[in-house]
Amino acid sequence: MILAVYSVLLAVALVIGAPWWLARMTTSGRYRAGLTQRLGRIPAEVREAVAGKQVIWLHAVSVGEVLATSELVRQLREALPGWVIAVSTTTETGQKLARERYTGSPVFYLPLDFASLVRRYLHLLRPNLLILMESELWPNLMNECARSGVPVAVVNAKISDRSLPRYMRLRRLWRPLLKNVSLFLAQSEENARRLVTIGALPERVLSPGNLKYDVKAPETSAMTILLSGSLSDGAKVLVAGSTLEGEEAMLLAAWPAVLEAVPDAVMVLAPRHTPRFDAVAALAESHGITPVRASRMKETSQKIAPGSVVLLDTIGDLASVYSLATAAFVGGSLVSWGGHNPLEPARFGVPVAVGPWTHNFREIVEAMRAEDAILIVEESRLPEELARMLRGEERDLGEHGRKVFEAQAGATARVAEALLALLDRSAA
């Protein structure tokens, strides 16, 4: 009954929203991307890749999840030679990065969460295991897996501050749905407790740690090499990563004062969402700054002068570009979104600053604060604090941050071990 009501509500939402989606599809390719796959058409390359193979289906959602699971996929492949790890995403940017990162894996868009569409994919893939990431709890997908005898694991599972009240109001409805999950691998003890509170079976909830502690981007990506070769000797580089709407304006407003204190500074500005690249470029122009667009640097061989703002308008490069930073600001934290992962720059020993809104990464931020490894900055103090970091006055933050990163590593191995044990139990 619950699933029937959910499916009807989902269908109604799609019908009501159809005019908006159709308008978007006529003006933006990203809204058309993967439409037929979302409606149940399975690409031929997926059919060929899984034919006669044992399969794990991993739903990696978008860029962040693709990066977080890269090492997990490597370890599972090593432990299960000959198996196929089929990867679905929700976003176009996630799709592109998954094709780059998961070489040899079939990559496709997650179908809409209707039972008939989900069954098509399950019938073709015949997965031995479905892995969902974080809070991707799709009721029909989980139910159809249970009906087909496919174990479901939720990896890096979390219940955010924002979503917890909604889950609590609906926990009588969620409790029977959560029983379809064979294993929750929570990213922290707090999230494990929240999962049990909303209805997960306690014996199916473990807390092996956060995969994002183990994200290790290469230091020598093509973009990193290009940027490094274009910077002037001695340039002080501020990498402002994963910024959201509103934050770029704050950073650009602070930039003249930063340059007054540190004239040889360069800012690499990396918006979180690709559709905003042009808007952020226009915003920089409105502040009297002509940004250097990273996507065009290879064609123009453009050098980066002191005082420049580089717009990192490429996909999947930010994590390695942090290695060039003298100091880093991690976005989503000057607005109420809740922040992004401060460990990405910390792993390189880069001093890290964030705004006051960090609830999405509370455990990581608290671990870093306990070790004096992160700076919490209000908007009004951005110019002063960023300048201090670029002058090297907070160098100890970087070394402390690297130690936090190294101390917290190892979650991926624990997650892989738990998933392999689940496969063994399911096969018995």
Angle between helices 395-408 and 362-370 (to 10 degrees): 120
H or E element that contains 375: strand 375-376
**Cα separation values, 56 from 40, 74, 186, Å:** 19, 13, 20
Kindly tell me if the per-residue pLDDT of 95 is higher than 90.
yes
pLDDT tens track for 158-195: 998 889 999 999 888 889 999 999 999 999 999 999 99
Q: Is residue 217 part of a domain?
A: no
Tokens of 86: 């089929």
Kindly tell me if the per-residue pLDDT of 338 is higher than 90.
yes
**409 vs 375, more confident:** 375
Q: What is the pLDDT of residue 221?
A: 84
Residues 200 and 242 in one domain: no
- Average pLDDT value for residue range 21-28: 53
Q: Is residue 137 part of a domain?
A: yes
Residues 262 and 376 in one domain: yes
Task: Indicate the Cα dihedral angle 414, 419, 424, 427, nearest 10°.
Answer: 180
Domain limits for position 120:
32-209+410-427
Within 13 A of 339's CA, how many CA atoms are on the CB side?
Answer: 26
Kindly tell me if the per-residue pLDDT of 93 is higher than 80.
yes
Residues 265 and 163 in one domain: no
Residues 151 and 62 in one domain: yes
Q: Is residue 5 part of a domain?
A: no
Q: What is the pLDDT of residue 170?
A: 87
- Average pLDDT value for residue range 331-352: 95
pLDDT tens track for 207-219: 999 998 887 766 6
Tokens of 241: 């990563």
| Catalytic residue IDs | 65
Residues 127 and 176 in one domain: yes
C-alpha 334 chain-centroid distance: 18
User: Who contacts 129 (Cβ-Cβ below 8 Å, separation ≥6)?
Assistant: 56, 57, 150, 151, 152, 153, 419, 422, 423, 426
Return the CATH number at 320. Answer: 3.40.50.2000
Q: What is the pLDDT of residue 376?
A: 98
What's the farthest any 2 CA atoms get from each other in the chain?
A: 67
Residues 384 and 418 in one domain: no
Q: Is residue 16 part of a domain?
A: no
Q: What CA–CA distance (Å, rounded) separates 127 from 423?
A: 11
- Average pLDDT value for residue range 215-236: 86
Q: How many domains does the chain have?
A: 2
Residues 198 and 306 in one domain: no
* Under 8 Å between Cβ of 301 and 258: no
pLDDT tens track for 261-316: 999 999 999 999 999 999 999 999 999 999 999 999 978 878 899 999 999 999 88
Choice among 147-156, 210-219, 325-334 with the minimum mean pLDDT: 210-219
Q: What is the pLDDT of residue 71?
A: 93
**31 vs 167, more confident:** 167
**Cα separation values, 274 from 68, 271, 378, Å:** 19, 7, 26
Phi, psi of 409, rounded to the nearest 5 degrees? -65, 160
- Average pLDDT value for residue range 355-384: 94
Return the CATH number at 132. Answer: 3.40.50.11720
Count of CB atoms within 10 A of residue 100's CB? Answer: 11
Using pLDDT thresholds of 50, 70 and 90, give the confidence band for residue 66.
Answer: very high
Report the chain's mean pLDDT, rounded to a whole number.
91
8 SS3 class: helix
Q: What is the pLDDT of residue 301?
A: 79
Residues 192 and 229 in one domain: no
Q: Is residue 236 part of a domain?
A: yes
Contacts for 93-96: CB closer than 8 Å, 24+ residues apart: 93/62, 93/63, 93/274, 93/315, 94/60, 94/61, 94/62, 94/63, 94/65, 94/66, 95/33, 95/34, 96/315, 96/316
Residues 232 and 151 in one domain: no
pLDDT tens track for 381-390: 999 999 999 9
Q: Is residue 356 part of a domain?
A: yes
Residues 381 and 422 in one domain: no
Residues 202 and 328 in one domain: no
Q: Is residue 13 part of a domain?
A: no
Q: What is the pLDDT of residue 24?
A: 53
Using pLDDT thresholds of 50, 70 and 90, give the confidence band for residue 3.
Answer: confident
Provide the pairing of β-strand 129-133 with 107-109: unpaired
Q: What CA–CA distance (Å, rounded) separates 48 from 103?
A: 15
Residues 142 and 105 in one domain: yes
- Give the CA angle between residues 61, 163, 71 to the nearest 5°: 35
Question: Quick one: how many helices (H) and strands (E) in the chain?
Answer: 21, 14
Kindly tell me if the per-residue pLDDT of 30 is higher than 60.
no
Q: Is residue 195 part of a domain?
A: yes
C-alpha 90 chain-centroid distance: 12
Q: What is the pLDDT of residue 355?
A: 98
> Which residues, in sequence order, are bridge partners of residue 292?
310
Burial (Cβ within 10 Å: 0-12, 13-18, ≥19) of residue 5: exposed
Q: What is the pLDDT of residue 10?
A: 64
